[in-house]
């Protein structure tokens, strides 16, 4: 478990954030974030007021990375590039999370290394991480301003024969009573544009390998746009399957067999394939994973039954 709890004695009385700055070598921002996240405890209870004075015995909850030996695909003095596997979180979502890519990132480069963009847990492929604080903000800004050009690969249901674009606004839903879709095409949503190019059709599986080029960075953009044109990504447990299967997946009750039947694959068949950008030098970085070969994860066409509507 990467989160550990340690006890300390504070003397004399001091404001909580100042104690963390002086005794634990944290910046003011990091000290305040640690307190805001409830990781400073007094008598077993989280104390969230960074200006409150503390004295006597306290406990701090630390993230201590436990890497599993995953090495970067590529690295410079400023950043690292990893091949993330499907099913692995980028960051721990709770203190009970046993493993995430942050374990590998900080095992290699220390406490101030961090992922600089997001990838869904079930999406595999390229993940960039900064090695130090000085690189984190500028790299994140490149992603936020869409300076870094990304491409993805996806195995989708059905036959796609021509290149096409989907230019449909996307909106995050606030009601999940009738659908578990987090995002939907909606006229009040944010402008969203994705270009798609078919690469290979597998007639036996009735599945097409598609290259995906997002021009905007909306949540679940590629997944929703492909669902919208009735070529959902195979293995998607939210878009393209029924309400019951989505609900069982979100509650951790969907069996592997039922997932293959209701979504068409054992995992989300979406892969972050390449990154093109300038950061002190020009870079074009590409995944070395044989994602085309991962079609073995796709369930036979006559056995999968899912909803495209």
Q: Are residues 289 and 226 in the same domain?
A: yes
Q: Report the b/e string of 211-236 with b at 16+ CB within 10 A.
A: bbbbeebbebbbbbbbbbeebbbbbb
Q: Is residue 194 domain-resident?
A: yes
Question: What digits encode the pLDDT tens for the residues 75-130?
Answer: 999 999 999 999 999 999 888 899 999 999 999 999 899 999 999 999 999 999 99
Distance, CA of 257 to CA of 195 (rounded, Å): 32
Q: Give pLDDT < 50 ranges for the chain.
A: 308-309
CA pseudo-torsion sign 274, 77, 110, 14: negative
Nearest to 86 by CA among 268, 227, 221: 268
The total number of structural domains that make up the chain: 3
Residue 249, domain member (yes or no):
yes
Which letter, b or e, does each residue of 101-117 get, where b requires 16 or more Cβ atoms within 10 Å of its Cβ?
bbbbbbbbbeeebbbbb
* Residues designated as active site: 120
Task: Indicate whether 163 and 234 sit together in one domain.
Answer: yes
Is 69 a member of any domain? no
- Tell me, yes or no, whether 263 and 214 share the same domain: yes
CA-CA distance, 157 to 198, in Å (whole number)? 12
For residue 81, what pLDDT is reported? 98
Which residue among 63, 84, 102 closes a domain?
63
Asked if residue 306 belongs to a domain, the reply is no
Query: Cα-flanking dihedrals φ and ψ of residue 168, to 5°?
Result: -130, 130
pLDDT at position 1 is: 58
The pLDDT assigned to 309 comes to 44
The answer to whether 211 and 196 are in contact (CB under 8 A) is yes
Q: Which pLDDT does position 306 carry in this prediction? A: 60
- Closest Cα partner for 104 from 75, 129, 140? 129
What domain range includes position 109? 74-144
Is the domain of 134 the same as that of 208?
Answer: no
Tell me, what's the pLDDT at 307?
A: 52
């Amino acid at each position: 478990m990467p989160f550990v709890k340690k006890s300390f004695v504070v003397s004399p009385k001091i404001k909580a954030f100042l104690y963390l700055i002086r005794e634990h070598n944290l910046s003011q921002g990091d000290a305040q974030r640690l307190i805001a996240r409830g990781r400073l405890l007094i008598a077993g209870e989280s104390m969230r007021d960074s200006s409150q004075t503390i004295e006597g015995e306290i406990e701090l909850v630390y993230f201590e990375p436990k890497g599993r030996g995953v090495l970067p695909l590529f690295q410079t003095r400023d950043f690292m590039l990893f091949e993330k596997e499907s099913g692995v979180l980028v960051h721990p979502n709770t203190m009970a999370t046993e493993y995430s890519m942050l374990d590998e990132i900080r095992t290699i480069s220390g406490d101030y290394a961090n992922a600089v963009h997001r990838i869904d847990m079930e999406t595999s492929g390229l993940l960039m991480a900064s090695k130090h604080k000085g690189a984190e903000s500028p790299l994140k800004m490149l992603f936020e301003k869409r300076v870094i050009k990304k491409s993805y690969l996806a195995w989708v249901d059905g036959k796609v024969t021509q290149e096409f674009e989907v230019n449909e606004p996307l909106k995050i839903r606030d009601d999940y009573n009738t659908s578990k879709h987090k995002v939907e095409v909606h006229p009040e949503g944010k402008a969203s544009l994705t270009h798609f190019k078919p690469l290979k059709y597998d007639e036996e599986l009735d599945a097409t390998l598609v290259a995906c080029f997002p021009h905007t960075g909306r949540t679940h953009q590629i997944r929703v746009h492909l669902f919208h044109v009735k070529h959902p990504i195979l293995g998607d447990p939210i878009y393209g399957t029924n309400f019951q299967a989505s609900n069982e997946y979100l509650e951790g009750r969907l069996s592997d067999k039922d997932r293959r039947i209701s979504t068409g694959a054992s995992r989300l068949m979406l892969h972050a394939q390449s990154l093109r950008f300038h950061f002190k030098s020009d870079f074009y970085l590409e995944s070395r994973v044989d994602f085309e070969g991962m079609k073995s994860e796709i369930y036979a066409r006559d056995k999968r039954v899912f909803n495209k509507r």
